[in-house]
């Protein structure tokens, strides 16, 4: 009788342990699956945002916002973003990164439009022509983009964590650098605001 009790106890203990191990495995298996799903969702969201930036069409159709009255600001875009372009001569004196009075009015209008029409991230791209060294052009475009970013933050009620700066220097010219007219077009700041 004692042997039967020991065998039954052993069977019950083995069954209990097996069930307990299965529960532990299920819990361990389920926990990571949940975490993986959340990570996949987060990655999808990040990838989607990155894809949106990669799919910018710099030649998007012209759009109008009531807030922007200046003829010195051109706006292109679609349902996902707006691209605000301002030439260097409007914002800065040649070779400088201090925003001119005329530029402030244009940036005020842009800030107002962004506040009204955009809730997403914003990128400020600085561009130059190719008349100086690549390093100097990159540095000047960085300073100018940072000046625009700082102005939008201080005057436009736009949180600083929404705005990043991209110093493009002489990259991505919109016209030839072999003529003065082309170089003039290449010296610009473009602000892209995701809606």
The secondary structure of 87-145 as a DSSP string is: EHHHH--TT--SPPHHHHHHHHHHHHHHHHH--S-EEEEEE--SSS-HHHHHHHHHHHH
Average pLDDT over residues 41-63: 68
Mean pLDDT across the stretch 15-32? Answer: 46
How far is the C-alpha of 140 from the C-alpha of 165, rounded, in Å?
Answer: 12
Assign 161 a pLDDT band (cuts: 50, 70, 90).
Answer: very high
Answer yes or no: is pLDDT of 27 > 80. no
pTM for the structure as a whole: 0.73
Q: Which residues contact 45 (CB under 8 A, 6 or more apart)?
A: none
Q: How would you classify the pairing of strands 122-127 and 163-169?
A: parallel
Q: What is the mean pLDDT of the chain?
A: 82
Q: Strand 122-127 relative to strand 188-194: parallel, antiparallel, unpaired?
A: antiparallel
| Residue 157's pLDDT band (cuts 50, 70, 90) | confident
Per-residue pLDDT at 33 exceeds 50 = no
- In the prediction, which pLDDT does 18 show? 53
pLDDT of residue 38: 35
Percent of the chain surpassing pLDDT 70:
73
Residue 159 has pLDDT above 70, yes or no: yes
pLDDT at 91: 96
Instruction: Tell me the average pLDDT across 175-180.
Output: 94
Position 131 scores a pLDDT of: 92
Instruction: Provide the pLDDT confidence category of residue 8 given band limits of 50, 70 and 90.
Output: low
Least confident of 22-36, 51-65, 171-185: 22-36
């Amino acid at each position: 009788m004692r042997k039967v009790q020991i065998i039954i106890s052993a069977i019950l203990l083995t069954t209990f342990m097996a069930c307990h191990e299965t529960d532990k495995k299920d819990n361990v298996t389920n926990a990571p699956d949940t975490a993986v799903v959340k990570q996949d969702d987060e990655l999808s969201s990040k990838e989607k945002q990155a894809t949106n930036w990669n799919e910018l069409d710099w030649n998007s159709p012209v759009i109008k916002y009531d807030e922007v009255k200046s003829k010195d600001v051109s706006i292109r875009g679609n349902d996902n973003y707006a691209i605000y372009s301002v030439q260097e001569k409007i914002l800065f004196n040649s070779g400088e990164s201090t925003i001119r009075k005329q530029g402030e009015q244009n940036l005020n209008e842009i800030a107002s439009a962004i506040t009204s029409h955009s809730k997403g991230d914003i990128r400020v791209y600085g561009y130059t022509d190719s008349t100086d060294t690549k390093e100097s052009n990159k540095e000047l475009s960085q300073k100018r983009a940072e000046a625009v970013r700082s102005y939008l933050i201080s005057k436009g009620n736009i949180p600083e964590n929404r705005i990043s700066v991209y110093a493009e220097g002489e990259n991505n010219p919109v016209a030839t650098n072999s003529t003065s007219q082309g170089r003039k077009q290449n010296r610009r700041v473009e602000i892209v605001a995701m809606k």
